[in-house]
Every structure is written in structure tokens, then in C-alpha cells.
Amino acid sequence: TGYSAAERSRYGIVEERRLLLDAISGLAADVVREPLNFSDDDSWSVHDILAHLMFWEGCEYEAIDQYLRGKRVELLDFPIKRIDGTTAAAVETLRAQPTENILGYMRKTREALMEAMFKLDDEQLNSDESAAHLILGIDLEHDREHRKELLVWRHRRAQQVLEAGISVSYTHLRARA
């Protein structure tokens, strides 16, 4: 109560990123490089998802900055058919970076985005006609989408680790009998 729609939007973007980072908290360096789809070695890893988010958030920051400067928001003209190829190229380029570096870049791009976002007034942030509203809404949903994906993966991975441990223990006990 008492919060403007813009304040709720800002909070949502901050909170969704916190939840996303919580979803990967405590993962070992080798685990963040595992494919999320256990049966497909070409599927993305946690590291790849973070690189993907970092890349697009940098683009979103540039778009908000253009909006604030009264310039044409070039991201809105980006051809949809090029998104997958651009994303794949960005992830491939960033794959060699240590995950800690990706997380550091993510913090910097998020700080820059938040700084730009706080320059927006309520109307700019909440008007359905505003490019800033559209871009920040996409940013929020993007974090949410990948957070959910990571939580499902962690759950499946934990089940597989548990099942493998039970199987190994059972086999070990049978071998001793």
C-alpha cells in the first residue's frame, strides 16, 4: 500500500533478479557447466543461461539509455528472426569466460539498468505506449522464465543424484552380503 506502480515495477525487477541468483546459489563450478538437458550435450548450461541474460540485459540497458536521451530505441527494431542466431553467437562467445566473470558483468549491467530505470518517471515506466515499459517488462519476464527453468533443472538434478546414490548404496550393500 502506498507504493506507486513504478515503485512496484522497480521492486519486481530487483526481486526477480535476486530470486534468479538464489536459484543458482551454491552450485559448484563444474555443475554450472553441465547441460540442463541431461540427454542432450548441446543444451545450454547454467553458465550459458547467465551469459545469455547478461548479453540481452546489456542490450536492454542501451535501449533504455536511448529512450532517456530521446533517441530511437534500436532494440525495438531488432528482427525477431535474428534473435536465436544472435543469442547463440553471444553465448558461444561468452562460453570461455569464467562464470564468476559472467556474474560480475551481470551485476554491472544490472546496476547500469537500475540506474537508468530510476531516471524514469511513473508515466514513462508504466505507460503501455512507453518503450521503457515494454523493455523493462521483457527484462522482468526474461529473468522469471529462466529462474523457473533453473529451478526445474535443479529439482530434476537432485532427484537423479539421489537416485544414483540409492542405486550405488543398494549395489554396494548387495555386494557385501
Q: What is the mean pLDDT of the chain?
A: 89
Q: Is 41 helix (H, G, I), strand (E, B) or coil?
A: coil
Contacts of 114 (CB under 8 A, 6+ apart): 10, 13, 14
- pLDDT surpassing 60 at residue 169: no
| Tens-digit pLDDT profile for residues 50-99 | 999 999 999 999 999 999 999 999 999 988 899 999 999 999 999 999 99
Q: pTM to 2 decimals?
A: 0.86
Q: How far apart are CA 85 and CA 89, in angstroms?
A: 6
109, three cell numbers: 549491467
Helix (H) or strand (E) holding 151: helix 131-176
| Tens-digit pLDDT profile for residues 105-117 | 999 999 999 999 9
Q: Provide the pLDDT confidence category of residue 36 given band limits of 50, 70 and 90.
A: very high
What distance lies between CA 100 and its chain's CA centroid? 15
